Amino acid sequence: MKQKILDDKLFALHAEVCKSMANPTRLKILNALENGEQSVDVMAKSLGLRKANLSQHLAVLRQRGIVATRREGLNIYYRCANSKMLKACEILREVLLEQLREGGKLFEQLGKGRK
Amino acid sequence: MKQKILDDKLFALHAEVCKSMANPTRLKILNALENGEQSVDVMAKSLGLRKANLSQHLAVLRQRGIVATRREGLNIYYRCANSKMLKACEILREVLLEQLREGGKLFEQLGKGRK
DNA sequence: CTTATAGTTTCGAATATTCGAAATTATTTG
DNA sequence: CAAATAATTTCGAATATTCGAAACTATAAG
C-alpha cells in the first residue's frame, strides 16, 4: 500500500514533467538551453517569440523545477536545472528523430490525434 | 532552412508524444505494458479504471503509435509498439524517482503549477 | 526623480483535455 | 437469430492550456 502511494506520486510527478514538455515551444526553449544559460531577451529573439509569451512558458518550466534563473543587472539568465532530466528528454528526441528518418508510422500519424 | 523544418516537425512530434505521456493514467497503462501485452479487461481491473475511460486513454496512445493491438476472440490485447520509446519514458521516471527519494524541490513543487 | 530596458503578471477568449453516461460495434456461444 | 461479453465511440459538461494585449515590477543610467 505504501508502495502504491509512492507510485501514485511518481506517476503524478512524471505526468507533470511530461506536461511541461508537451509543447513544441517549451521543447525549443529546453533545446536552446542545452548549450548553456541564456537571457530571456536573447531567447526571445533567437526563437522568434514575443517576450510575454516566452515568459509564460519559462514560468511553466520554472514552476516545475525544470529550469532555474540568475539575475545580472537587467537580464535574467535561464538555465536547465537538472541535467539528467534534460538528458532523458534528449534521449526521447533521438528515438523520435530515428523514427522520422525511417519515415515510420509515428511521422504519418503526427497531428492525427485528438482533433 | 530545410533543417529548421525538420526541427519543427521533430519538436512537434516530440510534443505530441509528451502529450500522450502527460497523464498519470496513461503512464500507469504504459507501466502495466512493460511486462508484456494485456487485454483491456484485465487492465481495467488491475488499474481500477472504467472500461470506457481506459479505452479512451488507449485510443490516445494508439493514435500516436505508442501502443499496438491484436485481437483474439473477444479480447483485444495491447502492447507497447516501440520499446525504445518506452525505455526513454522509463529513464525519465528513474530520474524523477531519484528526485523523489532525495526529497528534492521537484517533489515539493508538484501540483503547484498552473492551478 | 525620470526614462529606458528587461522581464513578469493578469485577463479574457479560443481551443484542448478529461471523464462519466449512454449508445454502438464486434465476436462468441447457444 | 438472440444473448452475453469485450471494447469502442459519441456527447456534453467541467476543467486546463494557450496566446495576445495591456498593465505591472525591477534594475540601471542620466
Integer Cα distance of A110 and B44 in angstroms: 27
Overall size of chain A counted in residues: 115
Evaluate if residue A40 carries a pLDDT over 60.
yes
Each residue of A69-97: pLDDT tens digit? Answer: 999 999 999 999 999 999 999 999 999 99
CB contact (8 A) between residue A15 and residue B23: yes
Q: Can you tell me which residue has the cell 528513474?
A: B94
User: Which domains are seen in chain B, by residue range?
Assistant: 2-81 (1.10.10.10)
Mean pLDDT of A9-32: 97
Contact A57, B49 (CB under 8 A): no
pLDDT band at A59 (very low <50, low <70, confident <90, very high): very high
Query: Which cell goes with A21?
Result: 514538455
Q: Does the pLDDT of residue B2 top 80, yes or no? A: no
Q: Beta partners for A76?
A: A71
Count how many Cα atoms sit within 13 Å of the Cα of residue B59 in the half-sphere of its side chain: 10
Beta bridge partners of A67: A80
Distance CA A78, CA A92 (A): 23
Contact map slice: B 78-107 vs A, CB within 8 A: 82, 84-85, 88-89, 91-93, 95-100, 104-107
Please check the confidence at residue B107 and state whether its pLDDT lies above 60: no
B36-80 per-position pLDDT tens digit: 999 999 999 999 999 999 999 999 999 999 999 999 999 999 999
Q: Grid cell 542545452 — which residue?
A: A34
Task: Tell me how close the Cα of A75 comes to any Cα of chain B, in angstroms.
Answer: 24
- Cell numbers standing for residue A61: 518550466
Position B1 scores a pLDDT of 66
pLDDT for the residue numbered A100:
86
Which grid cell sits at B77?
Answer: 490485447
